[in-house]
Structure 1
Amino acid sequence: MLHYNALHFRDKFNQRRSSSITSMPKSTRQVIVLCLVVGYCFSLSDHLSAQTSAQEKQIVAGTETLKAGDIATAEKIFSQLLQQGIRNAAVFHNLGIIAQRHGDHQQAVARFQEALLLQPDHAPSRLLLGSSLLALGKKAEAVRELERSVKLLPFESQAHLQLARGYEATGNWLGAVEQYQILTQMAPQEAEYAYQLGKALAKLSVWSSQEIVRLDQHSARLYQTLGQEFLFQEKYNQALTAYKQAASADPQLPEIHLALALIALELKRYDEALTEIGLELKLVPQSKAALETKMKIEAARQTSAP
């Protein structure tokens, strides 16, 4: 799995965004929070100089207005720039954010694509483009853009979160699990990420079982999976039956006889347990788990003897 030391980046981004969004109305924060996590509202304010053109100053003014939550005024400023024939990545990008604010993801996609034509390496445009494509149900296109945004923004949690959602939408549960694992490493205090990871793992388990059935309806692994489910439910006799079917399907598969031995031990069928653990040790003589289980069976058998 991938590992990222994201604490430094997360703290830096959180400090930068906190003062600008906490005072906004909730409805505005919900739209802009994604845009501000890594400075998504495209700004030129860091590059102003005495020679800065009036158009650039307008872009800066529009961006600051957008950050302040005044969507209508910001839209007016950027629309006027377009009417003046200005083709600037910042203008298209911020108009894409405004379109998202209005729920017009079709227009948002067009704006972000125009921004990327002018500045292909602008990661926030790719991330927000992917999120709008996902909202439109264009799953494959969304995942493609979101994968590119994660490569450009490896330490940004929103990039991984959006990609995880894209993978969920396309049924790529292995990919979703990987992204949620990254998120739990980046923000271990965030309970929501841990919850979503658990959900994705459960979906992955279901998908895995379905794939086994599709590939081989009589697979030993399928019976083993059924046996594990019965064990979780403490239905030991049904688990025993399922594991015996697994052993019949593939007598050389390690762990099957070990499981049978443990179930028989739980049911106090000591002779049966010893037989099964003997078969396991023939397959894996150095198995620590099998050797320890054998000792437990022998001790339990001796204790139960009259």
Structure 2
Amino acid sequence: MNASTNRLSSSMRSLFCLILAAASLQAVAQSPDRAAAIALEQRGRTVEAELAWHSIAASDPGNAEAFAHLGLLASRQEHYADAIASYNKALVLAPNMPGLQMNLGLVLFKANQFPAAIKNFSALLSLHPDAATVNHLTILLGMAHFGMGDYLVAIPYLERSAANDPQSLTLRLTLAHSCLWSKQYDCVLSVYKQILALNADSAEADMIAGEALDEKGDDSGAIGQFRAATHANPSEPNAHFGLGYLLWKQQHFDEAAVEFEAELNINPTQGQARAYLADSLVEINQFEKARPDLEQLVAAPNSSAMVHRDLGIVYGETGHPEDAMKQLQQAILLDPSYVSAHWRLAKIYQATGNKALAKSEFEIVSTMKQQSSRPLTQQLDTTPSSQHP
């Protein structure tokens, strides 16, 4: 659960490429230079084709086709700024050139210029094109809104697109994500049923449904969905972490530790899995096993209050009260509302004879509310929280 623009699947991007390739350009009278440029383009000799079209554009600045082909060639090389500039020049010269506005919209989409792409696609849709083009534009509008994080607006476009393509698993997964991230949890579960009809072993779908159930407060249902995900695909990224976190929230620390370890076997760089594994080990009093990871985690940039608290506990339980104080104080500095860190620090002060400081910390604890754990949806997108009992 990266930035939304990275959530677009490869199959959807392939669709955009097919639409781009299929878009026609205005036919003009054949000339030797034009024929040579097209031949180079068709043979994949992109640099030479660009030079040929540049030469045509230089000798005939009003040649819209030359700029259109330059836009197409630039887009194929992912030189989107150049492609947009060339397509805009072509549009000024020939605003009604077939396929040109569609190609511009696709390049704007690929350049993550979603508002401009949406404006372009909406204008094309208002021209009442044929049914196939309407379907393409509906998908593109849904994905553009999805790409800019406007998930609620994306839903009706994606619903229509999915209805027009009953066999598309990709569209339904994207729709399910849009429903999840716009907090439409019943929508998620409805789409999940459609996905199961297409692929009963979709680990990704199981995870999305599990996140929705977690948001709805159905703990056992969420755990069941994540167990299904790990069975469907034991190597699915974040499936074991998600299951581990749900078990951790229920204080099933032994089981949670097993899942966090499984996640780390798949992805050793999964920092959240390492942090929550260490925390689970602390909760089951395996202090020395947790210590190496915690010492590494607290030294990392943007370390969380939770790992400092946990290392403070480890130091306190293994006879290093001064080090424990430092770690607990750092946890409180990072999160002044961290009840458990205050309570642990009070106990350390009490054990070392700092009665006044212990009393002060206990008084702070008495005025604070116990924090609740965050939903899994937030955990899958962020660093470990300090919200731990």
TM-score, normalised via structure 1 length = 0.49
TM-score, normalised via structure 2 length = 0.39
Q: Which has the higher contact order (CA 8 A, sep 6+)?
A: 1
